[in-house]
Chains A and B, each alone.
Chain A
Amino acid sequence: MTSIETRGYVNAEILVSTDWVAENLNSPNVRIVESNEDPLLYVSGHIPGAVEIDWTRDLNDPVRRDYIDPEAFRALCSRLGITPETTVVFYGDRSNWWATYALWVFTLFGHTNVKLMDGGRLKWEKEGRTLTRETPSLTPSDYPSVQRDDQSNRAFREDVLRHLQSEGKLIDVRSPQEFTGERLHMPEYPNEGALRGGHIPGARSVPWAKAVNPEDGTFRSAEELRALYLEEAGVQPNEDIVVYCRIGERSSHTWFVLKHLLGFEQVRNYDGSWTEWGNSVGVPIER
């Protein structure tokens, strides 16, 4: 794969290579964060000095379907020794699904000093780099309480309904079978989660995985991504775009691609996604 700098991304600085991470393991203003789907993976071995953020336990409210509140985010960052000046570098399994999800939640709280390790955990491992089971010793910080901004990068159901009325564009990043309503779930996943199948009317189908190289999980070049989203899906960088999937994790990956790699001005992740839309009474559905 070519170097990140030569791939033509609009915000190339947000993506860092495994080499960059290896060179910055001991940088005082860098905190490396692993976020995975598999709850055993971090403890079984992680990048030296990396801490874990668990998508269910650390980022979601334990009772309501929502993300943590400002106090919980302040406590999380303080526990991990993160300050507003810290560069937080995310990586994880599943081609960085959960890493981009965590990065997106940090963005909601205004922590924009974030980066993503290209290729995630898979690439680090394939390169034979060091993993450790040693838990890093952290000095807690005093992160300030910051209000969550649910307007700029997040869409709720009512926002999507308004978006539809104004003929705004949507990207459905689920599998083609989920998009057509043939399945209510990911291939091989249980037939649960939504009472109705299909997609939000007018949504373009661009499965998230088309944005990555399958052999190492790195992102495709800007030219390839533009062909995928601008030419095939017909969305433009100056348009207001809403992305969605089933619960908002796969679509945070596409949000990252559009917002940061291609520089789209207005991209919102509808995290209610199909588990909300496909269960909502009276909302329009297309098959």
Chain B
Amino acid sequence: MSGLPPRLQSILDDLSFFPERTERIQALISLADRYSAPDRPKPYPEEHRVPGCESEAFVWVETDSDGGLVIDFAVENPQGISAMAMGVILGDALRGEPPAMAARIPEEIVYEIFGRELSMGKSMGLMGMVRVTKFLAGRLAGRG
């Protein structure tokens, strides 16, 4: 994959150092461990819910005063470890980037990160997080 946001490319490069599945999983869990729920009032509005994500993920895509992206993910299901890792990755990769940069992230990035041995349900939930982020960032880019 080319043309990815630099920090996302860096995360993929880091993960590529772990050819063993167990090591990659440990690295992803370390990312998930960094997840913390955003400081936003509950219940989260339904318009921020990621469709198809059974981990009950919610996303907010906004810009800071410099026009850079600020992305918050909330994962309501405590068993949604993969969704937490994905939220941390997307939040880190796109922080401060122009909204148009989000369009460069293909949904198939999920397989680059988690591997191909995902169930359909799991892969679609994670792809949904990417899809909604791209959609909301694209809307911000359109306004700009």
Contacts and interface: CB of A to CB of B under 8 A. Distances in A.
A65 interface: no
Contacts of A122: 79
B75 to A, nearest CB: 12
Interface string A68-101: 0000000000000000000000000110000000
B contact residues, range = 20 to 34
Contacts of A94: 54
Contacts of A188: 51-52, 124, 128
A284 interface: no
Contacts of B128: 188
Contacts of B120: 185-186, 189-190, 193
Contact of A38 (B21, B51, B122): B122
B82 interface: yes
A40 B121 contact: no
Nearest to B22: A43
B77 to A, nearest CB: 9
B28 interface: yes
A261 B124 CA distance: 32
Given A38-B79, A57-B117, A93-B79, A43 B29 contact: yes
B118 interface: yes
A40 B117 contact: no
A85 B122 CA distance: 35
B85 A40 contact: yes
B140 interface: no
Interface in B3-60: 21-22, 25-26, 28-29, 32, 51-52, 54
A225 B124 CA distance: 31
Contacts of B65: none
A125 interface: yes
A257 B52 CA distance: 27
A21 interface: no
A245 to B, nearest CB: 12
A41 B82 CA distance: 8
Given A44-B32, A93-B79, A37 B25 contact: no
Interface in A174-193: 185-186, 188-190, 193
Interface string B64-80: 00000000000000111
A280 interface: no
B81 interface: yes
Interface in A30-77: 37-41, 43-44, 54-57
Contacts of A268: none
Interface residues on A, range: 20 to 34
Contact of B117 (A44, A54, A185): A54
Nearest to A40: B81
Interface string B93-113: 000000000000000000000
A121 interface: yes
A121 B78 CA distance: 11
Contact of A39 (B52, B79, B118, B124): B118
A150 B78 CA distance: 37
Nearest to B26: A43
B119 interface: yes
A41 B52 contact: no
A44 B52 contact: no
Interface of A: 37-41, 43-44, 54-57, 93-94, 121-122, 125, 185-186, 188-190, 193
Given A54-B117, A122-B79, 10 more contacts: A37-B122, A39-B115, A39-B122, A40-B28, A41-B81, A56-B117, A57-B117, A94-B54, A186-B121, A189-B124
Interface of B: 21-22, 25-26, 28-29, 32, 51-52, 54, 78-82, 85, 114-115, 117-122, 124, 128
14 contacts: A37-B119, A39-B114, A39-B117, A39-B122, A41-B82, A44-B81, A55-B119, A56-B117, A94-B54, A121-B79, A125-B78, A125-B79, A188-B52, A193-B120
